[in-house]
Amino acid sequence: MSEEDDIILSELDDEELVQQMFDDLYDGLKEEIEEGVNILLERKWEPYDILTKALVGGMTIVGADFRDGILFVPEVLLAANAMKGGMAILKPLLVETGAPRVGKMVIGTVKGDIHDIGKNLVGMMMEGAGFEVVDLGINNSVEAYLEAMEAEGPDILGMSALLTTTMPYMKVVIDTLIEQGIRDDYIVLVGGAPLNEEFGKAIGADAYCRDAAVAVETAKEWMGRKHNSAATA
């Protein structure tokens, strides 16, 4: 494509621009996403609308294609990075406008485990779906999780493990939550290559998530239930 053929984002109408942002997100074009966000802000779009319609809308397509094996981890990481560029502009504005949030998640790899690609992907995809994500990184002890939960007050706790030897530590964390009488305060999601649904049930997690796309769908579903039960309570 020659220079003259380049799409000039500011010349597109709102609908075309949002469609173009879907494409740019899909292709992991961070600068174009940042430009698109700024153009929509100049056009007096609400930050929350930009987040949900342009960014989350675009990441939903990425998530579906990742789930269906059309896109792979490197491409999703690029898309998530582009999304982060747009989010960096919107975050302070969202705080100012008191925009509703989908939910908040504390996520971390368990003690003894230093693998984080899967966890990072889940965190990025969750942000892409409009969740606030607090990433504790790798090698987290029960104490580290508990401290974060107390400080952050999340809706969801996400734990990841890639080693069969570190998987049982997830149960240690859940058992501690039960002992402290706070297990029901959180939706607990677990994931990682060696896990499966049976393991998730056996340790008392709310759900096992096969991959990042499933994690987002599961989190939304559980948040929906949580809101419904709160409304009927």
C-alpha to C-alpha distance for 120 and 196, rounded to whole angstroms: 19
Give me the residue spans of the domains in the chain: 7-100, 101-233
Average pLDDT, the chain: 92
- In terms of pLDDT, which residue wins out, 93 or 173? 173
pLDDT 10s digits, 133-185: 999 999 999 999 999 999 999 999 999 999 999 999 999 999 999 999 999 99
pLDDT at 16: 97
pTM for the complete prediction?
Answer: 0.78
9 Cβ partners below 8 Å, 6+ apart? Answer: 17, 20, 32, 35, 36, 39
Under the phi-then-psi rule, with left for phi > 0, alpha for psi from -120 to 50, and beta for the rest, what region is 70?
alpha
pLDDT at position 127: 87
C-alpha Rg value of the chain to the nearest Å: 19
CA-to-CA dists, residue 175 to 62, 136, 181, 207, angstroms: 35, 20, 10, 16
Per the CATH hierarchy, to which homologous superfamily does domain 7-100 belong?
A: Methionine synthase domain (1.10.1240.10)
What per-residue confidence (pLDDT) applies to 117?
A: 85
Nearest to 50 by CA among 41, 42, 59, 63: 41
Q: Is residue 228 pLDDT above 90, yes or no?
A: no
Mean local confidence (pLDDT), 2-16: 81
Distance of alpha carbon 77 from alpha carbon 125, whole angstroms: 9
CB–CB of 211/67 below 8 Å? yes
Q: What percent of the chain has pLDDT over 90?
A: 74
Average pLDDT over residues 6-27: 95
Instruction: Provide the Cα torsion 166, 145, 129, 122; round to 10°.
Output: -20
pLDDT at 203: 98
Mean pLDDT of 14-36: 97
- The sheet carrying 104-109 orders its strands as 132-135, 104-109, 156-160, 187-191, 207-209
Residue 22 has pLDDT above 60, yes or no: yes
Res. 1: pLDDT tops 50: no
Rounded-to-integer distance, Cα 79 and Cα 71, Å:
10
Is 80 exceeded by the pLDDT of residue 227? no
Question: In the CATH scheme, what is the code of domain 101-233?
Answer: 3.40.50.280
Residues 49-70 have a mean pLDDT of: 91
Distance CA(191)–CA(113), nearest Å, equals 13
Residue type, 67: R
User: What's residue 3's pLDDT?
Assistant: 43
Give the contacts of 169 (CB within 8 A, at least 6 positions apart). Answer: 110, 111, 112, 113, 161
Q: Looking at residues 21-32, what average pLDDT do you find? A: 97
Whether 7-100 shares its CATH topology with 101-233 is answered no
Q: Nearest CA to 35 among 75, 89, 79, 81?
A: 89
Contacts of 60 (CB under 8 A, 6+ apart): 129
- Range of lowest pLDDT (106-115, 124-133, 203-212): 124-133
In contact, 189 and 197? CB cutoff 8 Å: no
